[in-house]
């Protein structure tokens, strides 16, 4: 996770989630994110349209609000365990399967700022709306260094990408370009395959730092404090120069 395609993969996943926490504010993504990603295609209507391009960038706040969702600014607490299950050569790039733990990311209740609950729980009841399946998302991401849309981007940093910071200070994407991302179905509309298979889900559950009982306890109910976030692992260096 500290060199090669894994660095761009990690920066992409972290940036995507940060934009979600900020209600679609894309100014919070890491340097180079917009250059390293194509525009999303949005809703798919034509047979053959690729689902992995529909939301390859996070939706913006304007797009959210156009769909009737109102953003309420509030801090986010806790931590997000993220595990790269595999990162395999695919064509002229790589395909990754990433396990993203959602159960331990908290916010405060609307009616009580001293009451915390998981962002995947119902804000009124504190209960999971779709069972334990929502506590971990399974992402498939594809990326390459050979996409012409990378243009004249500089090479990736030459030092290992680990350190004390929760986010990079410089562009760590280099010439890597994200060519696909989905957490549900993958492939052309009408001929898709499911990413979230029972086998992969079990592997992701086993990779989490918290067992099933702990995940359920964190994901449900209201709490007096969020989970402690600890230090960033592996974190990002203070400078790449």
Encode pLDDT of 180-235 as tens digits.
Answer: 999 989 999 989 999 999 999 999 999 999 999 999 999 999 999 999 998 999 99
235 burial (CB, 10 Å; 0-12 / 13-18 / 19+) is: middle
Query: Per-residue pLDDT averaged across 54-62, rounded?
Result: 90
199 burial (CB, 10 Å; 0-12 / 13-18 / 19+) is: exposed
Q: Structure pTM?
A: 0.94
Q: Name the strand (E) or helix (H) holding 204.
A: helix 198-207
At 44 the pLDDT is 79
For residue 132, pLDDT over 70 is answered with no
């Amino acid at each position: 996770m500290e060199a090669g395609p894994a660095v761009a993969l990690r920066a992409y996943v972290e940036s995507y989630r940060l934009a979600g926490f900020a209600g679609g504010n894309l100014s919070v993504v890491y340097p180079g994110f917009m250059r390293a990603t194509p525009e999303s295609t949005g809703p798919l209507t034509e047979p053959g349209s690729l689902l992995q391009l529909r939301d390859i960038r996070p939706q913006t706040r304007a797009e959210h609000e156009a769909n009737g969702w109102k953003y309420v600014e509030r801090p986010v607490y806790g931590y997000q365990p993220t595990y790269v299950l595999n990162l395999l050569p695919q064509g002229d790039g790589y395909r990754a399967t990433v396990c993203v733990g959602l159960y331990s990311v908290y916010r405060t209740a609307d009616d009580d700022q001293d009451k915390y609950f998981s962002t995947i729980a119902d804000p009124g009841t504190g209960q999971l709306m779709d069972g334990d399946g929502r506590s971990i998302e399974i992402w498939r991401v594809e990326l390459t260094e050979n996409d012409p849309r990378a243009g004249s981007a500089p090479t990736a940093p030459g030092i290992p990408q680990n350190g004390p910071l929760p986010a990079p200070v410089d562009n760590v994407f280099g010439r890597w370009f994200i060519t696909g991302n989905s957490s549900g179905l993958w492939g052309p509309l009408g001929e898709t395959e499911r990413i979230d298979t029972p086998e992969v889900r079990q592997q992701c559950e086993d990779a989490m730092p918290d067992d099933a009982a702990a995940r359920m306890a964190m994901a449900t109910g209201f709490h007096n404090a969020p989970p402690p976030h600890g230090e960033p692992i592996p974190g990002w260096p203070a400078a790449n120069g």
